[in-house]
Amino acid sequence: MTHRDWLLTTGERGNTATRLDARHPDASAWTEGNHARALVHGATYFAELLAGIRALRTGDLLLFTDWRGDRDERLDGPGSEIGTVLARAAERGVVVKGLLWRSHLDGLQFSQRENLRLGEEIEDAGGECLLDLRVRPGGSHHQKLVVLRHPGRPELDVAYVGGIDLCHNRNDDAGHRGDRQSLPMAAVYGPHPPWHDVQLALRGPAVGDVEAVFRERWQDPAPLSRSPLVRLRELARREDVSADPLPPQTADPAPCGTQDVQVLRTYPNRLLHGYPYAPDGEFSIARGYTKALRRARALIYLEDQYLWSPRVVDRFARALSAHPELRLIAVIPSVPEQDGRLTLPMNLIGRITALDALRRAGGDRVAVYGLENPAGTPVYVHAKACVIDDVWASVGSDNVNLRSWTHDSELSCVVLDRSTDQRAPSDPGGLGDGARVFARELRLELMGEHLDAQDAQGRPAADALCDPVAAFAAFDEAAADLDAWHAGGCRGPRPPGRLRRYVPPELPTVKRLLATPLHHLLVDPDGRPMGMRRRNAF
């Protein structure tokens, strides 16, 4: 195996305007010698992030982008509110720069007011936080990254990339009792929705790549919004609408691990004036998945908030059709986050049609599950993670749908470990690639939690799940037992595990007809040029 079998080359990225690959000495499309760790759950990530920010000194650099930021969200107990923590860093001389999605109007239940408040608190303390609406109509900036750089102490440099926003609902742990600071969701999730999520911590040269992603957006000379109404509001509120210069980017941190990391993005084809770093858009997340799925032979393990759009899951369906031993496990929310009379069908229709396509291709080799906590409350799956054949692993902000693959800005990292895992089967795909430590350990950690698989000391006992066939069967058995326990009135001891089989609800024909155009227009729009849409290319 060569890494070119799994990772995109510079030409395959499809965006010659970015400096992301050109900045590497060999113009490679990825960096080598990184150390990547998966931080499962917001509580794990927030505690580590808090310690890292508090350790920053005068002249250090903190860069972040976010979809939503709540200034009062506590990272780890009283006094750790994210607005306070970032403001204190700025006050002691840390260079704090942020890009928050400006959001749509709060009347549409998005995040405009909250993002404004967080930005104001940072600006008042001497940092700089811009509200960025350089998106397609109806689009969002969905990237979630934090970069901590330490001039003179590069061994401390770290970048965080994944699905976890700096906002309410995210601070949950493995017990899944929910964040005490909660936003309302569908009623079935209760007052404190249980939340499952994943973030990556990266050390090594990949930190420089994540910083370069931030700098490309920060240095975009276009106005933060084209909307005359928004620009009037900016003037009325005397908002900062001009990015101050950043300190020059320092050299990338030295290699410190065994993992190659490839940074992938989505930027849409923005009408009129495109992004200078992606004038025709960039769809490298979609291209990265497409290339990796062609090599899938044993098991695709996917955790995703949406799993929508037949035009996207077509890539998964082709792999399932081509390889009769290939299995797919997907873990998704049991219920969409919105349960209104109009919003629920709009959310469901894309999933129903996507799962139909997958099951036509893979039959009983496709298994889809929801999660619940020990109290029986559904867990909202917000994670965006995929592991293919224990070789290729992706964690990011992107969901499996057209919006994430074509329309919004997204950021994902693929990790390909050079260290092989010798536990049987040592080569699940049978192509000579060998199981890789990072990918396998990520899958086993996630699966072990969902199965409540523990040894006598209470540690994850997941070695038996190394075999993809055994793992597929273990999920099926655990979900069947828990479903039967519920069907029997919850009598007797609750079976171990948190898995419930996902059965798509039936939508009446009238609701399907009404929901389908709204789904395509509002929920899952397409950000590709027309020619790519006609070919369903990315």
Contacts with 478 (C-beta within 8 Å, 6 or more apart), sequence order: 450, 451, 495, 496, 497, 499
Burial class (CB in 10 A: 0-12, 13-18, 19+), 12: middle
Residue that the structure tokens 């890009």 belong to: 99
Domains of the chain (ranges; CATH) run 34-241 (3.30.870.10), 282-532 (3.30.870.10)
Using alpha carbons, list the distances in angstroms from residue 130 to 78, 133, 379. Answer: 27, 10, 33
Contacts with 198 (C-beta within 8 Å, 6 or more apart), sequence order: 38, 39, 40, 162, 163, 164, 303, 383, 384, 385, 395, 446
Running DSSP on this structure, what letter comes out for residue 81?
Answer: B
Running DSSP on this structure, what letter comes out for residue 8?
Answer: P
Contacts with 99 (C-beta within 8 Å, 6 or more apart), sequence order: 64, 65, 66, 129, 130, 132, 141, 214, 217, 218
Phi first, then psi, for residue 426 (nearest 5°) are: -75, -10
Contacts with 510 (C-beta within 8 Å, 6 or more apart), sequence order: none
Neighbour tally for 57: CB within 10 Å: 13
Give the pLDDT score at 454: 63
Phi first, then psi, for residue 359 (nearest 5°) are: -75, -30
Under DSSP, is residue 240 helix (H, G, I), strand (E, B) or coil? Answer: coil
Give the pLDDT score at 453: 85
Alpha-carbon distance of 136 to 155, in angstroms, equals 39
Contacts with 249 (C-beta within 8 Å, 6 or more apart), sequence order: 208, 211, 212, 215
For residues 520 and 310, is the Cβ–Cβ distance under 8 A?
Answer: no
Neighbour tally for 320: CB within 10 Å: 24
**Residues of the chain with confidence (pLDDT) below 50:** 106-109, 456-460
Residue that the structure tokens 């006094």 belong to: 79
Q: If you write DSSP's letter for every residue of 283-304 in order, what string do you get?
A: EHHHHHHHHHHHT--SEEEEE-
Chain segment 303-346, per-residue pLDDT in tens: 999 998 999 999 999 999 999 999 999 999 999 998 888 788 88
Give the pLDDT score at 74: 98
Running DSSP on this structure, what letter comes out for residue 156?
Answer: G
Give the pLDDT score at 104: 59
Alpha-carbon distance of 326 to 523, in angstroms, equals 30
Alpha-carbon distance of 44 to 50, in angstroms, equals 10
Phi first, then psi, for residue 56 (nearest 5°) are: -70, 145
For residues 405 and 307, is the Cβ–Cβ distance under 8 A?
Answer: no
Pull the structure tokens for residue 159.
């970048």
- Strand-strand pairing, 299-303 and 327-331: parallel
Running DSSP on this structure, what letter comes out for residue 40?
Answer: E
For residues 52 and 78, is the Cβ–Cβ distance under 8 A?
Answer: no
Nearest one of 184, 182, 100 to 142, comparing CA atoms? 100
Give the pLDDT score at 509: 87
Kindly tell me the sign of the dihedral angle through the C-alpha atoms of 512, 514, 517, 522.
Answer: negative
Chain segment 163-210, per-residue pLDDT in tens: 999 999 999 999 999 999 999 999 999 999 999 999 999 999 999 999
Q: What angle do CA 376, 187, 404 make, to 5 degrees?
A: 95
Give the pLDDT score at 108: 43
Give the pLDDT score at 106: 42
Alpha-carbon distance of 492 to 360, in angstroms, equals 37
Alpha helices in 408-493 (DSSP H): 437-451, 468-487
Which string of b and e fits 478-490 if b means at least 16 CB within 10 Å? bbeebeebeeeee
Nearest one of 114, 111, 44, 109 to 73, comparing CA atoms? 114
For residues 507 and 515, is the Cβ–Cβ distance under 8 A?
Answer: yes
